[in-house]
Structure 1
Amino acid sequence: MKIFRLLTPLLLAIVAVLCFAPAAWAFCGFYVAKADTKLYNKASQVVIARDGNRTVLTMANDFQGEVKDFAIVIPVPTLLKKEQVRVAKPQIIEPLDAFSAPRLVEYFDPDPCAPIIFNNFRALGGAGGAGGALSGSSDRSLGVTVEASFNVGEYDIVILSAKESDGLETWLKNNGYKIPQGAKQLLQPYIRSSMKFFVAKVNLDKFNQSGYEFLRPLQISYQSPKFMLPIRLGMLNATTEQDLIVYILSPEGRAEITNYRTVKIPSNANIPVFVKNEFNEFYKSLFQTAYTKEGKRVGFLEYAWDMGSCDPCSADPLTPDELKEAGVFWLINNSSSNVPVFPNFGTPFFSSNVFISRLHIRYTRDTFPEDLIFLQTANRESFQGRYILQHPFQGELKCQAGKEYKRSLPKRFEQEAQTLAKLTNWDIQDIRKKMKLSVGNLTYSLWESFLSWF
């Protein structure tokens, strides 16, 4: 870990005292794995940077198929202008995902017979084109008005208003937008709320000229008191449960969902050391178990932390440039305009007031019938999905403290097995068998004898 090289000798001594407290039987730990979005087959990612009524929303496209078939319709609370829409770098969400992902950390028990001394420590490794011309600035027979039309990067974009969902659905189809059947039913509530519709599809000529292999994220900036994320239209394309990861960046504190429950993912649990090689499967099972237990209509908080620090770090905190690319505007945008604009991406700044909340929602059309409504809070309490491996000491133990330590291990191992079974719903007997194989020579006979009781 990079921070180790920056510690002064005095700080090393202080840390050594803390790490070698004899009652804890613990060595300073290090991060070994993370549960990022690659675990999920169908995971959408959205970044929301918000301060007051200003919002910058970044959408990572998980579209699978021919780009000519891509179309996206997003309800937005205000009329957007071209300067409020941009294409973000394809990699912008990756560092947010890595930084905030649930993580596995590893600790090693010290020799219980060794005297307490100061030690240095080290990490141990651990449709073609635009689909034809638009039908005009207004189609009175359908009740649809084209409020704006422009191109951004490889996307052709129109901003629409509508009076009836039937007319909007017909207009979209007539103008070459491939949208799923049944859209009009879900469009109607947005029309009643006088929301506009941000509609985009790929300009094939510009996409081919760009040289990009995949569609880049779209980023929109607007001002509205509504702090929400429309998810219902996306359910039309869903054939199974969908995973949605929302990264909310704020100068205040933790963000929560107001119209559904927000709960913390189970965390800070000691689990068997064999999970090190099965962490992806472990976390998928843990999330599914928590999702089922909580009644499904919940959003899980997986991470909440000030962006300026982390402990342990699964990845480096984002740089100022990365935060700007993700939409953070409040530290550098001093404009008095009522309409938020994107920051000057050549202007340097230093971030010390960005709080990240990572919310994980697994949803279907039945379990989440409403769009997500968020609330910014002043709660800056840190939280992370963190799972602990505690390796037993493997050396020779002749002192009295060593004998007591040795006798304590079977109970500890069984507690880890029970915890893992509870978190994942895995079979306890299978867990015990795997644990037996992962225990070192010192405790093997003890653990073998203990397992024979079951």
Structure 2
Amino acid sequence: IRQNMKFFVARVNIKEQRKTGFQELRPIQIAFESPKFMLPIRLGMANADGPQDLIVYAMTRSGRVESSNYQTVKVPSDVEVPEFVQQEFGHFYKSLFAKSWREHDHRAIATEYVWNMGFCDPCAANPLTADELRELGVFWLANQAGPAGPAGPFRGGGVPVTLTRLHLRYDAQHFPEDLVFQQTGDQQNFQGRYIIRHPWRGTSSCTAASAYREQLPVRHRQEAETLASLTGWDMARIHKRMGDDAPKPADPTWWKKLWR
């Protein structure tokens, strides 16, 4: 109230909501103008029991969005991890995020994704179409359309839309202020990338194949160490999940070989 801010409470008719066929409530979309580029979070902590997670998607004309009153860091990225992570990616990423959050004293905001919607080289999914961007409130595209038509994706670069995804885990102790954002001029694309290299398991006995198999244990050991560093997982657990790819124990010293 002292900041001349307003909030509203939505009353939901459960019977009518069930008729829509959706299990979750559809989002409420509002539009307003304000000189403040911020997001109030303190009110939501009044009755909170422990930390809460918040995902923020911000779309701007000219660049990445970051917090101006809290540290903004990029999630660890571009690292090689063991093959089994593909089947446990959700658990892996939760552990990675939690460890990074603890390492930054529970106060940092993580940048998970930054991308210009004009091109895709490479990206995990197609950029949002012109119609999708307008539905999300990108009002400055009102008179623009992509080469593929109003609903088609933009191509060729130069599109004035940069999408930023921020992820924070917050509580009253570590986030005493509401979030304040700022738009930067940074348009460098970024996404959390975790590389999985599937080893060749053929039976060829040529020189190249033998050399390849000899270097695999070194690679697998590095992948296991990287995974432990990213997540804090116990190395014995990682080796168990790696199965036959787990690094083998080092050979005993020469004198142990003599008398065993």
Shorter chain as denominator, the TM-score bin is 0.7 to 0.9
Q: Equivalent residue for 1:363?
A: 170
Structure 1 runs of 4+ aligned residues shifted over 6 Å read none
CA radius of gyration, larger in = 1
Matched, 1:228 2:41: no
1:284-363 to 2 correspondence within 5 Å?
284-332=94-142, 348=150, 351=154, 352-363=159-170
Find the counterpart in structure 2 of residue 198 from structure 1: 7
Number of the residue aligned with 2:255? none
| Kept after mapping to 1: 8 A contact 2:130/2:141 | no
Report matched runs for 1:27-66 at 5 Å.
none
Shift of 1:224: 2.3
Determine if the alignment matches structure 1 residue 432 to structure 2 residue 239: yes
Do the aligned partners of 2:134 and 2:141 also contact (CA within 8 Å) in 1? no
Deviations 1:363-397 (A, max 9, x none): 01111111111010110111101111101111133
SS of the equivalent of 1:421 reads helix
Provide the C-alpha distance between the structure 1 equivalents of 2:121 and 2:51, rounded to a whole number of angstroms. 32
Stretches of structure 1 that go unaligned for 5 or more consecutive residues are 1-190, 335-346, 440-446
- Cα deviation for residue 314 of structure 1 reads 3.0
Partners of 1:222 and 1:305 lie apart in 2 by 25
Deviations 1:69-96 (A, max 9, x none): xxxxxxxxxxxxxxxxxxxxxxxxxxxx
Residue in structure 2 matching 1:274, options 61, 84, 87 = 84
Q: Which amino acid aligns with 1:396?
A: T
For 2:38, give the aligned amino acid. M
Q: Which amino acid aligns with 1:262?
A: T
Structure 2 residue aligned with 1:388: 195
Q: Secondary structure at the match of 2:29?
A: strand
The equivalent residue for 2:55 is: 245
Equivalent residue letter for 1:251: R
2:7 counterpart SS class: strand
Task: Report the counterpart of residue 372 of structure 1 in structure 2.
Answer: 179
Give unmatched runs, 5+ long, in structure 2. 253-260
TM-score, normalised via structure 1 length: 0.49
Q: Are the aligned partners of 1:331 and 1:349 in contact in 2 as well (CA < 8 Å)?
A: no
CA contact (8 A) 1:267 1:386 kept: yes
- Matches of 1:238 and 1:209, distance apart in 2: 26
Corresponding residue number in structure 1 for 2:212: 405
Distance in 2 of aligned mates of 1:271 and 1:399: 28
Aligned equivalent of 1:114: none
Match of 1:211 in 2: 19
Return the letter of the residue paired with 1:405: Y
- Decide whether the 8 Å contact of 2:17 with 2:25 is kept in 1: no
Distance 1:203 1:393, change over 3 A: closer
Shift of 1:203: 6.1
Report the AA paired with residue 243 of structure 2.
K
How has the CA–CA distance of structure 1 residues 235 and 453 changed in structure 2, closer, same or farther, with 3 Å as cutoff? farther
2:230 to 411, 420, 423: 423
Q: What TM-score do the two structures reach when normalised by structure 2?
A: 0.84
- Partner in structure 2 of residue 258 of structure 1: 68
Q: Give the structure with the larger strand fraction.
A: 1
Assess if the C-alpha contact under 8 Å between 1:255 and 1:357 holds in 2.
Answer: yes
What is the aligned-residue identity percentage? 49
- Per-residue CA deviations over 1:408-448 (Å, capped at 9, x if unaligned) read 111111000000000010011221122134x4xxxxxxx66
Determine the C-alpha separation between the residues in 1 that align with 2:37 and 2:6. Answer: 17
CA RMSD of aligned residues (A): 2.5
Question: Higher relative CO (CA 8 A, sep ≥ 6), structure 1 or 2?
Answer: 2
| Alignment partner, residue 118 of structure 1 | none
1:232 partner amino acid: R
Q: Write the distance in 1 (CA, Å) between the matches of 2:234 and 2:79.
A: 18
Tell me the amino acid that sits aligned with residue 11 of structure 2.
V
Equivalent pairs, count: 241
Q: Distance in 2 between matches of 1:209 and 1:360?
A: 29
Map of 1:177 onto structure 2? none
C-alpha separation between the residues in 1 aligned to 2:197 and 2:25? 43
Question: Structure 1 271/311 Cα, relative in aligned 2: closer, same or farther at 3 Å?
Answer: farther
